[in-house]
Amino acid sequence: MTQGSFPAVRMRRGRSSPWMRAMLAEHRLHPSDLIWPLFICDGRSCEEPIGALPGVSRWSVDRLAAQARLAADAGIPCLALFPNTPNELRTDDGREALNPDNLMCRAIKAIKDAVPEIGVLTDVALDPYTSHGHDGIVDAKGYVLNDETTEVLVGQALVQAEAGTDIVAPSDMMDGRVAAIRSALEQGGHINTAIMAYAAKYASAFYGPFREAVGSLGRLKGDKKTYQMDSANRDEALREVALDLAEGADMVMVKPGLPYLDIVAAVAREFRVPTFAYQVSGEYAMIEHAAAAGAGERDALILETLLAFKRAGAAGVLTYHALDAARLING
């Protein structure tokens, strides 16, 4: 490959100026790639900062629309909502999830009324509603019961659809729940309510700050390893995705994000369906703490990690950095 003593191909020519790098960039991050998770608290006109997630707050329903407006103005297409259910409403069976006037449903309506152009994605799982912090109904031994839980999840998805959510996102990892939810949505006339399945969700140490945010941290007995995936497994993730697609999922998600980028890439390549990654709370906290400690420049860390998901083949990313990232991209 050399002519005389010089290389005929100099890869660095393509990196020699900003315009050249811009022209040759294979992937780009755009605000429309971002889904912004928001936490909701009870009460009026409150903002509750979340200690474990520096820079992230819970917002009361009356202040949520203003956040949605900021997101829409920055070009973010969709929000993901998570309620911090008041303690007195948490029960063993998580029945508050079925209350059509619960925090989640009120939040959906408030956003749809005030900012109808932004999409709303809602989590389907019982952990913000149960006294034990598990995603489903537990038996006497603490085992999460699959089919009994699925029945409640179907009801939960229906009240969210009735409140006007655009996408239901089952994050519970019960078997068969996507089919059950799809069929109930069809029968209920919600034919355009989409399903984003948390298809490959791993039992991860990166969810800690989220559990504080939704108030399930101190409650959780044991771990979630009998339903969330073992981080040792890759082929199993492909089986999970195949099942959720066969059951009617419109889009799939891999979670967490960066530590599972190999899974994001494998799913995107294998199935050619809209594949999302969730850059979870522990990843957010890692970036914030690293930047605060001077280990890296915050804005650059945010944009580099988010672009990595696009490079891996993701259609988009759920990230607590969405608003900051969108504003950085917009300049």
Which residues of this chain interact with ligand PBG, rule CB under 6 A? 123, 125, 127, 135, 171-172, 207, 210-211, 224, 280-281
Q: Are residues 59 and 42 in contact, defined by beta-carbon separation less than 8 angstroms? A: no
Q: Is 141 a catalytic residue?
A: no
Q: Is 221 a catalytic residue?
A: no
Q: Say how far apart CA 156 and CA 163 lie, in whole Å.
A: 11
Considering beta carbons, is residue 269 or 275 the nearer one to ligand PBG?
A: 275
Query: Other C-beta atoms within 10 Å of 55: how many?
Result: 14
For residue 143, with 0-12 CB atoms within 10 Å meaning exposed, 13-18 middle and 19 or more buried, which class applies?
Answer: middle
Angle at CA of residue 214, ends 208 and 218, nearest 5°:
60
Q: Which residue has its beta carbon closest to ligand PBG?
A: 210
| Residue from 112, 224, 255, 310 carrying the catalytic annotation | 255
Least distance from ligand PBG to the Cβ atom of residue 280, Å: 4
| Residue from 112, 201, 224, 310 carrying the catalytic annotation | 201
Q: Are residues 26 and 32 in contact, defined by beta-carbon separation less than 8 angstroms? A: no
Sign of the torsion formed by the C-alpha atoms of 109, 147, 231 and 268: negative
Which of 7, 138, 115 minimizes the C-alpha distance to 67?
A: 115
Residue 318 pairs in a beta bridge with 35, 278
Q: Say how far apart CA 99 and CA 105 lie, in whole Å.
A: 8
Q: Are residues 270 and 238 in contact, defined by beta-carbon separation less than 8 angstroms? A: yes
Residue at token pair 């811009």:
22
Least distance from ligand PBG to the Cβ atom of residue 51, Å: 15
Residues carrying an active site annotation? 201, 255
